Chains A and B, each alone.
Chain A
Amino acid sequence: MLIRSSSFLLSLLLVIGAICADEPVSFTKQIAPILKAKCVPCHGPKLAESDYRVDTFNFLMASGISAGETDESDFFDRLITTDQDVRMPAESDQLPMREIEMFRKWIQEGAAFDGGSKDASLEQLLPRMKHPDPPEAYPSSLPISAIASDGKQVFVSGYHEITAWSLDGKLVRRITDQGQRTYSIDLHPNRARILSASGTPGELGEVRLFDLESGKPPTVVQKAGEVIMDARYSPDGKKIAIAMPDGSIRILNSDSFEEQTRLVGHSDAVVAIDWHRDGVRLATASRDASAKVFDTNKGQSIATFTGHNECVNGVKFLDDQQLISVSDDGTAQRWKIDGGRREQVVLSQARTPVLSVSVSENSFLLCGAIPTHQYKLGSNQLLQRDDAPDEWVTTSGILLADSEDIFLTGTQTGLIRIWFSDKEKEASEFRAIPR
């Protein structure tokens, strides 16, 4: 016992020495990151264990912090008590001494707030983060999780970066300072800016905007506590819709990034969205096994599609009246928007998730653990089917060559394929992994 407590004291002294005595502890820079990483997953908006939340400054103070008085702060007592049943984080080791001392100092200094809004979520308060550089050459493959093109280059999700490739497969540009994984890439209609949804699984989600011409570090448009799966410009480029992990969709002004509308109704993360070309309707796909269509002007849901029984991975408008959704349940289903009635189960194969759907002028493409299928728009006739890959085709997109029907797909191991509907033209392939 003696030995333990003296080593405890020793480490305490070391820690106190390490925390600069003069500089006051910053809530946003030092306290918020710890709360976010260690506390919010159980005491946040998604799950508020024992009705405690610490995901905003105000919630944290209400959870039992008495400014200036660590002895009076139940919150602090919970960090240091030796009673394992009471100590937080629950069922885990005690916080490192360095972090506990940070809390002690911050509370004793008066528990000051140095952010914008005391009701803002912690990740909104965290300072902009510079992401680590990607590896020069990747030590292994990486599943393609996002793909887009302006007709000349193909933008592909990388590791802490977006890579740009020429159509013949040469690496032409690396856009760094990105979240660990990128889940969507969208080009502004003027093709000068790239909007991306990204994040680190279980920790952080971001939407970042990168100006292709200036090459300046990306601007952070939105943050979340879990990866953000999709962010899309409206057809006129004036709005940005963001699929949030909390089940909401945020509509922002694309210049000021101010939130204009928040669409709610999904009970789990939204993973894909699609603007209708009318610029008003927005289709959404969620892990709650449903798809919806919202009127973004009114901020209301118009229709809900409940025919899937597992996560809906993708949703796309086919025309004015119809949309198509694909799901982990192994089906692709076509719906009538009015009334939310199912028109057809386009594809159904148990235990083979359908991961992505893309729509061009004349056809649509389905891919995933199934063979990739291409159908004619309108008649829904099967045009071609590719049995070749023995790996999952994880994502798809279209090559923005305005009148042509050229699809892009990316696979589990990083293989990019450019598809032509015209069967005469050879499909081309390259591996979009920096080597």
Chain B
Amino acid sequence: MNWIDHLLCYLKEPIAIVLLLLTVMPSVTRADEDRLQSISVTPEQFTIIGKRERLQLVITGTAIEGRLIDLTRIASVNTDSDHIVIENGVITPKSNGVSKIQIEYQGHVANATVTTRSMDQPQAVSFDYHALPVLAQSGCSGGSCHGSPHGKAGFRLSLFGSDRELDRISLTRELFSRRVNLIEPQKSLLLKKPAMQIAHQGGKRFGTEDLQYELLRDWIAEGGKTIHEGPGCVGIEVFPPIRLLKFPQTNQQLSVIASFQDGTRRDVTHLAKYEASDPKVMEVDQTGMVRGITRGESAVIVRYLNFIETPMVTLVRDIDGFQWNDPPVANQVDQLVYDKLKSLQFLPAPQCEDTTFIRRIYLDVLGILPTQEEQKIFHEDSADDKRDRLIDELLEREEYDKFWAQKWGDLLRVSTKLISAPDVYKFNRWLQRCIAENKPYDQFAREILLATGSTRLNPAGNFYRSAGDTNDAMETTAQVFLGTRIQCAKCHNHPFERWTQDNYYGLTAFFNRLQRSKTQRENEILLWSASEGEVQHPVTNTVAVPWVPSDGEIEVAQLDRREALVEWMTSASNPLFAKIEVNRIWAQVMGRGVVEPFDDFRDSNPPANSPLLEYLASEFIQSGYDRKRLLRLILRSNTYQTSSNSTRWNEADTKYFSHYSPRMLTAEQLVDALGFVTGKPKQFFGVPVGTKATWLPAPDLQPHDRGKIGNIEFLKVFGQPERQSACECERSDDISLGQALEMLNGKLVTEMIFDESNHIHRALKDNVEPSQIIRDFYVRAFSREPTESEVKFHSQYIGNHGNASEALEDICWAVLNHNEFLFQH
């Protein structure tokens, strides 16, 4: 790149910003161009009670073609009343009365009526409803600041104000009331720090003119009172709950209304905390104004007190020259993926080559690479449905059973550390059998979760040995079968989700009566349910009532409470159960879940394509939880079979499945591939000869020997999980220096390449032409023939080198370190 290009590179962005400003600033005129059919205002009627309250209006225009446009800060809003003042759609009350508001835009009119009351009475700033939300909104009580368990710089707050007693002491008592100055309120540390009047590591959080400052200052001036008064808050409501925005009109004002026990409602738009689930797509400021950045979808996580709502915002843009090309649709999966792509103006990539397909499908379904024979048969087949038939064929092979049993071994934490070695084998065989039989998923879950009796006779019961106590059993169940990382809620309300500590213990109550008794036989545990035993909530000290996510607290008639949970879990009223599994399967073959991370379902982590997930789940349920059928549906789609080469029409997409995303082979796949390509498969400890890495029942069958790095360590370096956590995140996909070293001169790779009886050396002994050896090697490693120039390049290298054996080893090394080998694409 010469210096002019370099300079241009820098210039591009400022220019873009200027252009953006130019397009945003006269947005009045842009909106003018959209002919509207009507405008509306929310709310149309509202009562503001108390002079500290205010009201955010949201004004919406409906364009001729039906699209909705936010006009909150554009439309003219007028009143002839003296009782209120209106600015930017925010109504500030002045005196008691009823005010009519007229909103006008492009000749369309909407009306609202606002009643103001109690303006002549003092309204104290509330510790619970004003001060603590301000601290949460300003980021003070966030998890990375003073809300972390040990606080910051000696000042500790509870996470988002979840523990008012702790906050009361920190704010008004600690260190002789260091943080509030009742004599000169504006000199309080609680104001000077966030307003950056004195240096604050956390930066400036608000200015002295801001509402946040005013509320905290008045709260201190009124004596820093912390008495809890008035009716409690029962929930919040966000408007709009869902919205599609199109560039350039990507602003959307939100409004948040809180409801209280006495039936009153207060606008808390200015007190709520906003966060975009995908900050690359949009940003949301403290006033609840959404501003789009790029095409995509994101939820806004809106928090007030411990209430969370997550309105969805989709942003679309007209791309110059974009033309939908009506790509062929193989099944409904494609239809739904393409609907989304079309709306966001991305083009799906074309189908991948047969050579790419066969390598991809083998790795995804069986975990291994296709042999030369298998490739030959497939390529010689000229029938249209040959890919479909290959998929069906692979799903019936035993490698499929073993490979997918290993995935479940990861989730259920099958390891000799937690259950004995003999039971590891037994449990693994049970899992393989379930996969082979294609056992319906609901039945599979039921057999695991409701396991009783001897773990020797019923290997599924080993689940309760890996998850060895009540909390662990609940957390693992929530993670694996409900897609919920609920651990946070053990000690405090979940920071991003509506999960509360009550919910945590409510779910735990289902598992509390399960008993694990040792028997006289070694390594045998007897599982049975006691008829009593309750969970104590650690904070309230009350008995936790069995509770499930959508239905709340439930009556349990069964003796074994787990039955009630599993009944609810697998019932039609809980689509989450199916969604978790279809998303997991989708992620396992697509490299990315529709919900990602794929075991982290929550409102604040919305699916990239909701209709797709709904469809997959409903198909799955209707098929009687048939996993093979679901896999077939996904694998047969064009979406699965797209090329991994991106084009200018889809390179910006990383989450809507417009093209296949290449990913590195897993640790086990890689070891098997290395063994297959070189012809020297790795032998493992404690399993029959010929057992592949992708079939290993547990990662720790071989006793761990720190002194001997190089053997099984290879798997660890490449991210094999230790199976200590039920989280998918335990399998690391980080690229590390250790991996490069292992591939360049690690023991495993070196031995395979130098072995006298490997493919290369045997072929040389059999006097096979070096160019043929290279061809064979390419077909095994890349599932394709080398190009003529590649053959020529390598042949030249061998010729120049003089020693064919050494030269071939070098080439072998180079091929194994090539991305085309290391990656699935």
Tell me if B183 and A135 are in contact (CB < 8 A).
yes
Assess A139 versus B203: contact at CB under 8 Å? Given A93-B196, A287-B154. no
Q: How far is the CB of B676 from chain A (nearest CB, A)?
A: 50
* With A41-B200, A89-B196: A392-B183 Cβ-Cβ less than 8 Å: no
Asked if A91 is at the interface (CB within 8 A of a chain B CB), the reply is yes
Q: How many residues of chain A have a CB within 8 Å of chain B?
A: 38
Q: Is the CB of A202 within 8 A of B201?
A: no
**A140 engages B223 (CB within 8 Å):** yes
Task: Check if A412 is an interface residue, CB within 8 A of chain B.
Answer: yes
Considering the complex, give the chain B residue whose CB is closest to the CB of A132. Answer: B184
Question: How big is the B interface, by class?
Answer: 20 to 34
B3 at the interface (CB under 8 A from A): no
Do residues A201 and B179 form an inter-chain contact, with CB atoms below 8 A?
yes
| Chain A proximity of B207: nearest CB distance (Å) | 8
Among candidates A37, A141, A159, residue contacting B198 with C-beta atoms closer than 8 Å: A37
Whether A159 contacts B176 by the Cβ 8 Å rule is no
The distance from the CB of B191 to the nearest CB of chain A, in whole angstroms, is 11
Given contacts A138-B183, A140-B223, contact A47 B189 (CB under 8 A): no
Knowing A93-B204, A159-B183 are in contact, say whether A143-B199 is a contact too (CB < 8 A): no
Cα A159 to Cα B187 with chains together (Å): 12
Residues A42 and B196 in contact in the complex (CB < 8 Å), given A143-B177, A287-B154, A392-B173? no
Residue of B nearest to A89 (CB): B199
Chain B CB within 10 A, most for which of A39, A135, A159, A201: A201
Q: Which residues of B contact A40 (CB under 8 A)?
A: 199
A residues 25-51 in Cβ contact with B at 8 Å? 37-42, 47
- Contact between B173 and A412, CB atoms less than 8 A apart: yes
Chain A window 146-183, contacts with chain B (Cβ cutoff 8 Å), 1 for yes, 0 for no: 00000000000001000000000000000000001101
Nearest opposing residue in chain B for A328, CB measure: B174
In the complex with contacts A41-B199, A42-B199, A181-B176, A202-B183 CB distance below 8 A? no
A92 at the interface (CB under 8 A from B): yes
A394 at the interface (CB under 8 A from B): yes
Whether the pair B176, A42 counts as a contact (CB closer than 8 A) is no
Closest to A183 in B: B176
Chain A: minimal CB distance from B413 (Å): 32
Q: Contact: B183 with A140, CB < 8 Å? A: yes
Which residues of chain A are near B183, meaning CB under 8 Å?
135, 138-140, 142, 159
Contact call B189/A91, Cβ cutoff below 8 A: no
User: Which chain B residues lie closer than 8 Å to A135 at the CB level?
Assistant: 183
Residue from the list B154, B175, B199, B200 in contact with A39, Cβ < 8 A: B199
A353 cross-chain contacts in B, Cβ below 8 A: 169
Is B178 close to A, CB under 8 A?
yes
In the complex, chain B residues whose CB is within 8 Å of the CB of A392: 173
B548 near A: Cβ within 8 Å? Answer: no
CB of A360 within 8 Å of the partner chain = no
Are B178 and A201 in contact, CB atoms less than 8 angstroms apart?
yes
Contact B200 A145 (CB under 8 A): no
Check if B780 is an interface residue, CB within 8 A of chain A: no
Question: What is the CA–CA distance of A280 and B223 in the complex, to the nearest angstrom?
Answer: 45
Query: Known: A41-B198, A140-B223. Contact between A92 and B203, CB under 8 A?
Result: yes
Q: Decide: B203 and A91 in contact? CB cutoff 8 A.
A: yes
- Asked whether any CB of chain B lies closer than 8 Å to the CB of A203, the reply is yes
Whether the pair A142, B182 counts as a contact (CB closer than 8 A) is yes
Chain A residues with Cβ below 8 Å from B177 are 143, 412
Q: B492 on the interface (CB 8 Å rule)?
A: no
By the criterion CB–CB under 8 Å, are A91 and B204 in contact? yes
B192 interfacial by beta-carbon distance below 8 Å: yes
* Interface presence of A90 (CB below 8 A): yes
Q: Which chain B residue shows the least CB distance to A39?
A: B199
Chain B residues numbered 104-160 whose CB sits less than 8 Å from any CB in chain A = 154
Q: Are B199 and A38 in contact (CB under 8 A)?
A: yes
B584 contacts the other chain (Cβ, under 8 Å)? Answer: no
Q: Closest approach, in angstroms, between the C-beta of A35 and any C-beta of chain B?
A: 10
B196 with A143: CB separation less than 8 A: no
Q: Taking the complex as formed, is B636 at the interface, i.e. its CB lies under 8 A from any CB of chain A?
A: no
**Interface of chain A residues 391 through 435 with chain B (CB within 8 A):** 392, 394-395, 412
Min distance, Cβ A138 to any Cβ of chain B, angstroms: 6
State the CA gap A187–B173 with chains docked (Å). Answer: 27
Cβ of B273 within 8 Å of any chain A Cβ, yes or no, is no
A237 → B minimal CB distance (Å): 27
Query: Which residues of A lie under 8 Å from residue B187 when comparing CB positions?
Result: 180, 200
* CB neighbors of A among B161-182 (8 A): 165, 169, 173, 175-179, 181-182
The residue of chain B having its C-beta at the shortest distance from the C-beta of A145 within the complex is B176
Is B562 an interface residue, CB under 8 A from the partner? no
Choose among A93, A138, A143, A394 the residue with the greatest number of B CB atoms under 10 Å from its CB.
A143
**Closest chain B CB from A277 CB (angstroms):** 28
Instruction: Provide the bound-state CA to CA distance between A3 and B179, in Å.
Output: 40
Does B193 reach chain A (CB closer than 8 Å)?
yes
Bound: A351/B174 CA distance, A: 12
In the bound complex, residues from chain A placing their C-beta under 8 Å from that of B173 are: 369, 392, 412
Q: How far is the CA of A201 from the CA of B181 in the complex (A)?
A: 10
* A283 and B189 alpha carbons, distance in the complex (Å): 30
Closest A residue by C-beta to B165 = A351
- A203 CA to B200 CA, complexed, in Å: 11
Given contacts A268-B154, A353-B169, A392-B173, 16 further A-B contacts (CB under 8 A): A37-B198, A38-B199, A40-B199, A41-B201, A42-B199, A47-B201, A91-B203, A140-B183, A142-B182, A143-B176, A180-B187, A183-B176, A202-B189, A202-B192, A287-B154, A412-B177
A residues touching B (Cβ–Cβ < 8 Å)? 37-42, 47, 89-93, 135, 138-143, 145, 159, 180-181, 183, 200-203, 227, 268, 287, 351, 353, 369, 392, 394-395, 412
11 A-B contact pairs sorted by A residue (CB < 8 Å): A38-B199, A41-B199, A89-B199, A143-B176, A181-B178, A201-B175, A202-B192, A202-B198, A287-B154, A369-B173, A392-B173
Residues of B within 8 A of A (CB): 154, 165, 169, 173, 175-179, 181-183, 187, 189, 192-193, 196, 198-204, 207, 223
The 4 tightest CB contacts between A and B, nearest first, are: A91-B203, A41-B199, A145-B176, A140-B182
